Amino acid sequence: MSSGTTLQKAIELVTKATEEDKNKNYEEALRLYEHGVEYFLHAIKYEAQGEKAKESIRAKCTQYLERAEKLKETLKKGHKKPIKDGENGSKDDKKSDSDEEDGEDPEKKKLEGRLEGAIVVEKPNVKWSDVAGLDAAKEALKEAVILPIKFPHLFSGKRAPWKGILLFGPPGTGKSYLAKAVATEANNSTFFSVSSSDLVSKWLGESEKLVKSLFEMARSHKPSIIFIDEIDSLCSSRSDNESESARRIKTEFLIQMQGVGHDTDGILVLGATNIPWVLDSAIRRRFERRIYIPLPEEHARVTMFKIHLGNTRTTLTEEDLKELGRRSEGYSGADISIVVKDSLMQPVRKVQTATHFKRVRGPSPKDPNLIVDDLMTPCSPGDPDAIEMSWSELEGDKLAEPPVTMNDILKSLATSKPTVNEEDLVKLQKFTQDFGQEG
């Protein structure tokens, strides 16, 4: 089996396993997960190059093995695999098995089926360390999610974990990225990622039933985290001219989050919004912690430049990175990623526009461990070693990648403007003074 084929096969197997898992075909999913992990282990041993690649594959293996163990436990408890179309058995037998499996009315099963896609089965693989800055927000989320699972005895009596956390701030500051870190780090929790499209229906009365089913599923899969991105689209302030269905969705949210007779132990509702001032006051009250996710500070911006540049070949020094951190004041994390993405294309543009190249020594594009002497790199026409030619005359494996320079990033910084305006920042700061806390 050629290099890369084993890894490709492993990815195909776990992709199929995830699909079967979502369809509740647990026996088939378990078989595919175990088979996929075998291929991943083979890839680590014989094909993966570099410790970073091996570490990434090991993380995947751990994730899929954990899911496989959960499926084993489910199957041991007698959870039946749903009969698929084409299998033997009469219609009556199928109906009987289905009724035995869920013990619920068909309508409820249909609603839960619509929400199955909201359960995040495959972890996003974003760790706390991948989130630059936002220390207060990370600590609050650890306090609400990780510690109650790891040390349940700490949260007894009057000391109870947070039931609702609202992350608010300018767009592009990492609110959704923090939620990905929560999904990755909360190993034993079920993570529901919900948007308005999952809960809004054209049929009268179905939207609030979907909200109710979401919380019922969260209670049956405790401990659970329900993440609602852009929560303002679902829970804006109630008014006299809004539709009846919108009002009923908000009412159901209020009841499920903190209503009489509803158990919220082991459930955290995590909301994110860029415009918190439009939220209904009753919804706002149910988010006990309201954390402002501000624009990144200078040290965080420096870290972001490092993260986004990754292992790309550059000539940047530590002082250059600090200078970029100073010059990018007012930029969000998303803005910085766009600046770096544009600057990474600058060497490509140099190759395209170059009229002269010179011969250099460097790592072979085919094998980075092999140093060769016949590579070509763009240069100015005045260079003593310059040879007049265009990129189209070069062979594919003879081009030496030009490094990203400070000037490349400064050029991109000058053309990519920040997306957050001063007016929104003033509103966010006012909301923080009135209702929130600094993140």
CATH number, domain 298-419, options 2.60.40.420, 1.10.8.60, 3.40.50.2300, 1.10.3210.10: 1.10.8.60
SS (H, E, C) 157-207: CCCCCCCEEEEECCCCCCHHHHHHHHHHHCCCCEEEEECHHHHCCCCCCHH
What lies within 8 Å, CB to CB, of 91 at 6+ separation is none
Identical fold, 5-103 and 298-419:
no
The token duo for 387 is 């040879």
Query: What average pLDDT does the segment 285-304 reach?
Result: 88
pLDDT digit string (tens) for 23-40? 778 888 888 888 888 877
Q: What is the pLDDT of residue 251?
A: 83
Cβ 375 vs Cβ 359: under 8 Å: yes
**How far is Cα 159 from Cα 144, in angstroms, rounded to an integer?**
12
- DSSP code for 279: B
| Lowest-pLDDT range of 150-159, 234-243, 347-356, 429-438 | 234-243
Using CB atoms within 10 A of its CB, is residue 310 exposed (0-12), middle (13-18) or buried (19+)? exposed
Q: What is the pLDDT of residue 46?
A: 67
**Mean pLDDT of all residues in the chain?**
79
- 197-227 residues labelled b (16+ CB within 10 A) or e (exposed): ebbbbeeeebbbbbbbbbbbbbbeeebbbbb
In this predicted structure, the answer to whether residue 188 has a pLDDT above a threshold of 70 is yes
Q: What is the pLDDT of residue 105?
A: 62
The token duo for 87 is 């299998």
Domain residue extents for the chain: 5-103, 128-292, 298-419
**How far is Cα 383 from Cα 196, in angstroms, rounded to an integer?**
59
The token duo for 407 is 């000037």
| Lowest-pLDDT range of 76-90, 234-248, 301-315, 316-330 | 76-90
Of residues 331 and 241, which shows the higher confidence score? 331
pLDDT digit string (tens) for 71-97? 877 777 665 444 333 344 444 444 444
**How far is Cα 54 from Cα 380, in angstroms, rounded to an integer?**
40
Kindly indicate whether the domain formed by 5-103 is annotated with CATH number 1.20.58.80. Answer: yes
Q: What is the pLDDT of residue 80?
A: 47
- The CATH number that domain 128-292 falls under is 3.40.50.300
What lies within 8 Å, CB to CB, of 240 at 6+ separation is none
